[in-house]
């Protein structure tokens, strides 16, 4: 990326940050809406804008503290400090004083800063995690400063992991086996998968390794009756169905019909015919009562606070609150 084809890049990043930092909507939705309004942006430009915005969200307290010494709009200062694009472009977009300011600020020894500026978590969440994790708190907190990897789950009904890995390499993508899930493949970078044959034909599904492991822990097998009680968009439902080798009966329940709607295209790609999605009103729904004592396995991934997805959705730690979390519980 050079300054020539994209002279307004820093201004657009500032505009995007101004919208995201209102924290009144999920960041991914704000980014998508922004890109719909700016359709002329190319893939590299979109990547720079989005990654810079997410870098600010991940370490918002740090960047806001360091930005105090600068001048101009706060969002512009944040964009300059957290910039995730070409340094050549950024230097061309800044005046000499701004560039020197950025260089000096980024040289600050972060180990000397207060804990709050190092972990970048709201107090209520930091205190809760420190109480639960003890000495393991800092490795977790610092890992949240990095973006989540792109993991795929191989649909064992249709493909084998070694075949998928070979197919990804043939498509020019770098990929490796995940360390724990026997179905998992970790792809480097953030390539677009929607038109990849392996994805279109249902050989793979996007799913974090952690979610794959949750499905594995159920031990679901052929011919059983299984319920995914908080199915959402059905990622774990599809993993369970493949474990069951498309036999038995698998119920995908959720109180949100909107979430279940997202399961439909994924289910069509998967080749599964043993899945029965249904919206339920609550845990005492008649559908639940009718299956009492009849089900072999139940997967309940709750509460649905979303805090398990902070690497992928760093805005959640600023939009979530103890009161909202407790309502989920």
pLDDT digits (tens, 9 = 90+) for 20-29: 999 999 999 9
Closest alpha carbon to 124 in 325, 322, 326, 279: 322
Mean pLDDT by 10 residues, the chain (329 residues): 59 96 95 95 93 97 96 95 94 93 96 96 95 95 93 97 96 96 94 91 95 96 96 95 97 93 95 96 92 95 76 92 64
Task: Pull the structure tokens for residue 272.
Answer: 């599964």
pLDDT at 326: 59
pLDDT at 189: 86
Closest alpha carbon to 153 in 235, 260, 269, 221: 235
Compute the distance between CA of residue 44 and CA of residue 42 in angstroms, rounded to an integer.
6
pLDDT (tens digit per residue) in 104-162: 999 999 999 999 999 999 999 999 999 999 999 999 999 999 988 999 999 999 999 99
pLDDT at 6: 57
- Helices in the chain by DSSP H: which ranges? 9-20, 27-37, 43-58, 60-66, 74-82, 87-93, 96-106, 115-119, 123-133, 137-143, 161-170, 197-200, 209-218, 235-243, 257-261, 263-270, 286-290, 316-319, 322-328
Task: Pull the structure tokens for residue 92.
Answer: 């061309």
pLDDT at 8: 82
What is this structure's pTM?
0.82
Domain segments of the chain as ranges? 9-114, 150-206, 215-307
pLDDT at 5: 47
What phi-psi label fits residue 293: left (phi over 0), alpha (psi between -120 and 50 degrees) or beta? Answer: left
For the segment(s) 150-206, the CATH number from 1.10.3720.10, 3.40.50.10810, 3.30.70.1170, 1.10.10.10 is 3.30.70.1170
Is the distance from CB of 220 to CB of 228 less than 8 angstroms?
Answer: no
Is the distance from CB of 4 to CB of 62 less than 8 angstroms?
Answer: no
pLDDT at 261: 94
The CATH class, in words, for 215-307 is alpha beta
């Amino acid at each position: 990326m050079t300054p020539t084809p994209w002279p307004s890049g820093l201004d657009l990043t500032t505009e995007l940050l101004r919208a995201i930092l209102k924290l009144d909507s999920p960041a991914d939705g704000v980014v998508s809406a922004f890109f719909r309004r700016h359709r002329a942006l190319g893939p590299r430009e979109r990547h720079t804008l989005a990654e810079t915005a997410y870098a600010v969200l991940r370490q918002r307290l740090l960047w806001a503290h360091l930005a105090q010494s600068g001048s101009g709009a706060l969002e512009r200062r944040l964009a300059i400090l957290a910039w995730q694009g070409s340094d050549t472009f950024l230097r061309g977009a800044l005046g000499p004083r701004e560039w020197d300011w950025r260089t000096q600020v980024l040289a600050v020894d972060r180990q000397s800063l207060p804990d709050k500026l190092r972990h970048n978590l709201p107090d209520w969440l930091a205190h809760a995690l420190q109480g639960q994790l003890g000495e393991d708190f800092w490795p977790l907190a610092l890992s949240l400063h990095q973006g989540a990897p792109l993991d795929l789950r191989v649909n064992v009904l249709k493909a084998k992991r070694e075949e998928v890995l070979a197919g990804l390499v043939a498509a020019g993508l770098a990929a490796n086996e995940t360390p724990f899930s026997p179905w998992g493949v970790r792809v480097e970078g953030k390539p677009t998968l929607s038109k990849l044959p392996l994805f279109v034909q249902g050989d793979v599904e996007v799913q974090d390794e952690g979610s794959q492991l949750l499905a594995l822990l159920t031990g679901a097998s052929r011919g059983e009756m299984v319920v995914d009680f908080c199915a959402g968009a059905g990622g774990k439902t599809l993993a369970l169905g493949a474990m069951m080798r498309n036999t038995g009966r698998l119920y995908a329940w959720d109180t949100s019909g909107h979430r279940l709607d997202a399961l439909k295209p994924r289910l069509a790609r998967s080749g599964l015919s043993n899945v029965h999605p249904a919206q339920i009103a609550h845990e005492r729904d008649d559908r639940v009562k009718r299956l009492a004592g009849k089900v072999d396995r139940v997967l309940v991934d709750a509460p649905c606070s979303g805090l398990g997805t902070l690497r992928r959705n760093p805005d959640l730690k600023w939009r979530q609150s103890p009161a909202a979390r407790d309502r989920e519980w």
